[in-house]
Structure 1
Amino acid sequence: MPQVDATGNPNALLHSHLFAVAMADSVFTYDAASWCVTQEMKDAYDTNGFILVRNAFSPEEMRKVRAFVEGSDAIQERAYSRDDGKNRRSRVTLWNHPGRDVLGVLARTQRVAGTMEQVMGGQEVYHYHSKLIMKDARTGGRHVWHQDYGYWYKNGCLYPDMGSVFIPIDDCTRENGCLQVLKGSHRLGRFDHVRIGEQLGAEPERVEKAKEQLEHLHLEMSAGDTLFFHSNLLHTSDQNASDLRRWVFIVAFNRRSNNPYKEHHHPRYTPMAKVPDSALLECGEGSDDSNDQWFIKLDDDISIRERVH
């Protein structure tokens, strides 16, 4: 007789066990008193393309972040969306400079920027852009299989020495469209990206072949968990058909040594002042510096527009 969990799902315990085995070498737990980036973390990032840090931000910190994004007119009014090819849309607000508000401070903390810098090899990184992805209940669209470097390559970045930090503001589950990855797929190199709906996705035939060889993981995460991942890691997320929204904050970083060779809609190297982890709870709402943040409009995204239209 199959095992069941508290919800009565007969396969849940088996899935949970298999997930734990697959993830064991890439999952770590944050401890404010002892946190540092270890060689084990660096090896996991290099081998698997990501590390997942549980409880990276406290409930108090996440309440502050959640209240800020829900109440920020600057963020909500600048959101745009693209069709996912299946008649659903997720809203996105994207900006190039971290600013001095709550999210700007969060992006520059040692916990975020410092950890990303270390797992990427220890060379100086700068803020490439930040975005809030809002998959609202019953309407949130999917994001097709892609590599971030599949887009950023078009922006004049010669090397995939880039990465992203994925911070759930809400719990991310299979039901509301959690992130999915192909473990170790960053070692496949950059795939060509083609039009899928109003998005660019990695070449589907190659993705299917990669799925035959690599572990396909659903990264269910709680608010405050944090994922650090390589720019060539293949990832996707499903539509949100649940009654629960799924909002996440993502910060992208680039190495200073990988400064783009041409002007484009994201910044070239711009020095970034990292702040102590304590700054997140100590900071105010932030001044209205939205002009300095350089928000991106839908048609500003040249790497997408040139291939989609």
Structure 2
Amino acid sequence: MASTTVPISSTSLSERRKLFTEMPPQPLTVKPGHLTEEMVRQFFEEGFVIIEKYFLTEELDACRKAIDKLVDDLAQQMYKAGKVKHLYEEFGFADRLTKLEEEFPGTTILLHKKGVLPKAFQDLWSNERLLNAIEQLIGPEIAGHPMWNLRTKVPQNLATVVPWHQDAAYTDEDSYDVLVPTAWIPLVDANFKNGCMQVVRKGHRSGKIATHECCAGPTWYVMLDEKEMEETLGVNLQEDVVLCPVPYGGMLLINNLIPHQSLSNFSNEIRWSLDFRWQNPEKPWGFYGLKEGVLMKSAKNSVTKIDWHSFTSNTKPLKNYASKVEGEFDTTLAGPWMDRWEITHKNRHTTTFQENTTA
């Protein structure tokens, strides 16, 4: 059984708290995409900030087109293998994946596990304006973190509901002293009805990683009990929970200690989103030695070309945790984060993990 004891960091708790709560010196030159001082201050004081108008429509539209191709490629693969009887080509961005999921439950997981990073995603992640904003949070040495996601929240599907958690709960203890900002970027208008995010304001200020459990409902996600959250992180869920609707073209920035969750999608359309992360490349990645990040910007060594080839050559870092039975159509997802926390609720994902780690 996994231990619930959180390792003691080499950095004192007070120093870690400062890392996550105190605004660093800002760049002397204002660059395109820079956040206002008020936005940066809110990120460090509250643990999150919503920027409603940030991306160009064409930048996000390119990502939507790339997703259409990813869905079509998966549909063709499943059709040829006899997993589905229809390609559902008459449906589009808002509902084609839902139709595939209805015929072959777990299709959303297959797409999630593909780990394909189309050029449109690469361009958005390394967007100069976006990197300028991230520089305001972590400084000029910037690398894309190996943990990124395309979220496929199909309507009324429990497997796409992400429970309360801190992102740091998915990484190993070596990275607990690393600030890793996340940009959550919806590819539709995200609101309460279709399952936007909620955060617990100031839940990062203790500098602590609370004790999580594994795994929530029918998912592979770790979860944070509300009582544990209040006792360890010193928050009041009656007062501190903030709903975070984000319009198309905007983003939600959070740090890796802020508790957050996504809600259920009660609409009739898919709520697509991307989440990208960055950190100082000189710090530990916290990804269990499975993969490193990709350098995007540096004041020490000019980055003229991002090495996407090396980064994407290992697109399945969790392959050692895959089911040995289902192969390419394995709809379970397991990984080393499951060994960080006690498995208090078993499901097919935790079963796959335990079968692979005890074999």
TM over 0.5: yes
User: 5 Å matches for 1:125-204?
Assistant: 125-128=142-145, 129-139=147-157, 141-154=160-173, 156-188=174-206, 189-195=208-214, 196-197=216-217, 198=219, 199-204=221-226
Tell me if structure 2 keeps the 8 A contact 1:137–1:176: yes
Tell me if structure 2 keeps the 8 A contact 1:168–1:222: yes
User: 5 Å matches for 1:68-147?
Assistant: 68-72=66-70, 91=109, 93=112, 101-120=119-138, 122-128=139-145, 129-139=147-157, 141-147=160-166
Residue 252 of structure 1, CA deviation: 1.3
**Aligned counterpart for 1:42 among listed residues 40, 43, 46:** 40
Residue 294 of structure 1, CA deviation: 2.2
Q: Deviations over 1:51-72 (max 9, x none)?
A: 2111211223222211111212
Residue 214 of structure 1, CA deviation: 4.5
Tell me if structure 2 keeps the 8 A contact 1:37–1:119: no
Residue 143 of structure 1, CA deviation: 0.6
Q: Report the equivalent of 1:26.
A: none
SS at match of 1:93: helix
User: Hey, what's the Cα distance between the residues in 1 that align with 2:167 and 2:266?
Assistant: 25
Q: Report the equivalent of 1:271.
A: 295
Tell me if structure 2 keeps the 8 A contact 1:112–1:165: no
Residue 185 of structure 1, CA deviation: 1.0
Residue 291 of structure 1, CA deviation: 5.0
User: Hey, what's the Cα distance between the residues in 2 that align with 1:229 and 1:75?
Assistant: 32
Q: What is the one-letter code of the residue matched to 2:39?
A: M
SS at match of 1:66: helix
| TM norm structure 1 | 0.70
Counterparts in 2 of 1:203 and 1:138: CA distance versus 1, 3 Å: closer
Structure 2 regions of 5+ residues with no counterpart? Answer: 1-30, 78-104, 299-307, 322-333, 344-349, 351-359
SS at match of 2:44: helix
Residue 231, structure 1, aligned to residue 259, structure 2:
no
User: Hey, what's the Cα distance between the residues in 2 that align with 1:288 and 1:123?
Assistant: 23
Tell me if structure 2 keeps the 8 A contact 1:66–1:169: yes
Q: Report the equivalent of 2:313.
A: 292
Moved more, 98-107 or 123-132: 98-107
SS at match of 2:67: helix
Tell me if structure 2 keeps the 8 A contact 1:56–1:226: yes
SS at match of 1:146: coil
Residue 111 of structure 1, CA deviation: 2.5
Moved more, 139-148 or 251-260: 251-260
Counterparts in 2 of 1:75 and 1:177: CA distance versus 1, 3 Å: farther
Counterparts in 2 of 1:306 and 1:221: CA distance versus 1, 3 Å: same
Residue 296 of structure 1, CA deviation: 4.1
Which structure has the highest strand share of the two? 1
Larger radius of gyration between Structure 1 and Structure 2: 2
User: 5 Å matches for 1:60-75?
Assistant: 60-72=58-70
User: Hey, what's the Cα distance between the residues in 2 that align with 1:246 and 1:153?
Assistant: 30
Q: Report the equivalent of 2:88.
A: none
Q: What is the one-letter code of the residue matched to 1:103?
A: F
Q: Report the equivalent of 2:266.
A: 241
Q: Report the equivalent of 1:205.
A: 227
Q: Report the equivalent of 1:51.
A: 49
Residue 265 of structure 1, CA deviation: 2.7
